[in-house]
Amino acid sequence: MTKRFGAVTALDRLSFSVPEGGVYGILGANGAGKSTFFRLCLDLVRPSGGGLSVLGGAPGQVAVRRQIGAMIETPRYYPTLTAAETLMMLARTSGVRAPEIGRWLARVGLMDAVHRKVRHFSVGMKQRLGIAAALIANPRLLILDEPTSGMDPAGILEMRTLIRELAAKDGVTILLSSHLLDEVQRTCDRVAIFARGTLVAEGRIDVLLAGQEKLRLLATSQQALQAALGGRGVCDGDGVLMTVSRAETPSLLRALVDGGIDLIEARWMGGGLEKFYLEQTGGDHAG
């Protein structure tokens, strides 16, 4: 799929698929094409070349649109309406029953502000209301652009928990973008990384980062530890770094302990999504 705006190519021969279920991250610097991709999924713009299928159909089909909830960029509402009134107004256009409104306000943590006018909401509260608005029709696909923008650490944790619950318990497929790469690594199952309108990496996060992580071991005797590892470890200060898969790690640790090595610490080093992102994009800042 390609999308051009005049002489500017926003997306250049993009080709990948998002599996149903789970949380899928769309990463890239400002101008990399993330928002354009979301707008194509919502049929707000049309491809210049190629095409895409969403939930088994064309994005413009009414039956498809009714199964998608979205919050793109910063949500805006009528300032004189309350949170409940805002969702009631949106519900009337979606054929959603009123009881659904309270359920979603509760799930995004806005029950204490149900009757507060939106003009008094903080940025984080508006983000929560935007997510509730995207959820009131019980969508199969949820598109979230910077869902934790303006939230404090506690709010970010609550939103991460909600997003994971929606995927795991409600079966919602979630597409999200965020410049908080550590949060993406905690929340998403898979990612696609855009750079200047092209796809530079895609796949499960654990697979993409495999081989970058190293296990750092600390024992009462570094010499004895290195001898037990048989040259597989590299000295790192008072510890030893080694390359080993997570699947092999439990048996390795058991063997070391059974061999008389007194381990003090075993922890993973490196392998972060931020480092991988920067390597793939040549240092472009996620945004």
| 171 and 234 both lie in a single domain | no
What is the model's pLDDT at position 92? 82
| 111 and 59 both lie in a single domain | yes
Specify whether the backbone of 95 is left (phi greater than 0), alpha (psi in -120 to 50) or beta. Answer: left
Residue 246 lies in a domain: yes
| 193 and 262 both lie in a single domain | no
| 54 and 126 both lie in a single domain | yes
| 52 and 184 both lie in a single domain | yes
Residue 190 lies in a domain: yes
Token pair of 262 as six digits: 């007194």
Residue 209 lies in a domain: no
* Vertex 108 angle, CA 177 and 160, to 5°: 45
Residue 175 lies in a domain: yes
Q: Which residue has the tokens 């300032």?
A: 79
What is the model's pLDDT at position 206? 86
| 164 and 82 both lie in a single domain | yes
We report the CATH number of the domain holding residue 7 as: 3.40.50.300
Total structural domains within the chain: 2
Whether residue 47 contacts residue 96, with contact meaning beta carbons closer than 8 Å, is answered with: no
| 74 and 198 both lie in a single domain | yes
Q: How far apart are the C-alpha atoms of 243 and 249, rounded to whole Å? A: 10
We report the CATH number of the domain holding residue 263 as: 3.30.70
What is the model's pLDDT at position 191? 97
DSSP the chain: -BEEETTEEEE-S------SSSEEEEE-BTTSSHHHHHHHHTTSS--SBS---BTTB-TT-HHHHTTEEEE-SS----TTSBHHHHHHHHHHHHT--THHHHHHHHHTT-GGGTTSBGGG--HHHHHHHHHHHHHTT--SEEEEESTTTT--HHHHHHHHHHHHHHHHTS--EEEEE-S-HHHHHHH-SEEEEEETTEEEEEEEHHHHHTTT-EEEEEES-HHHHHHHHTT-EEEETTEEEE---TTTHHHHHHHHHHTT--EEEEEEE---HHHHHHHHHTSPPB-
Q: How far apart are the C-alpha atoms of 186 and 183, rounded to whole Å? A: 5
| 16 and 150 both lie in a single domain | yes
Give the global pTM. Answer: 0.81
Whether residue 280 contacts residue 216, with contact meaning beta carbons closer than 8 Å, is answered with: no
Burial of 127 per CB tally in 10 Å (0-12, 13-18, 19+): buried
What is the model's pLDDT at position 91? 83
Residue 129 lies in a domain: yes
Q: How far apart are the C-alpha atoms of 78 and 255, rounded to whole Å? A: 64
| 180 and 227 both lie in a single domain | no
Paired residues of 8 in beta bridges: 5
Residue 275 lies in a domain: no
Domain boundary among 204, 236, 252: 204
Residue 123 lies in a domain: yes
Backbone angles phi, psi at 240, to 5 degrees: -130, 130
| 63 and 156 both lie in a single domain | yes
Domain boundary among 204, 228, 250: 204
| 193 and 238 both lie in a single domain | no
Paired residues of 145 in beta bridges: 177
| 70 and 138 both lie in a single domain | yes
Q: Which domain holds residue 182?
A: 3-204
Split the chain (287 residues) into runs of 10 and give each run's mean pLDDT: 95 94 94 93 94 93 92 86 91 70 87 92 89 90 91 89 93 94 94 95 90 87 92 88 88 94 90 87 67
What is the model's pLDDT at position 42? 94
| Number of Cβ within a 10 Å radius of residue 198 | 15
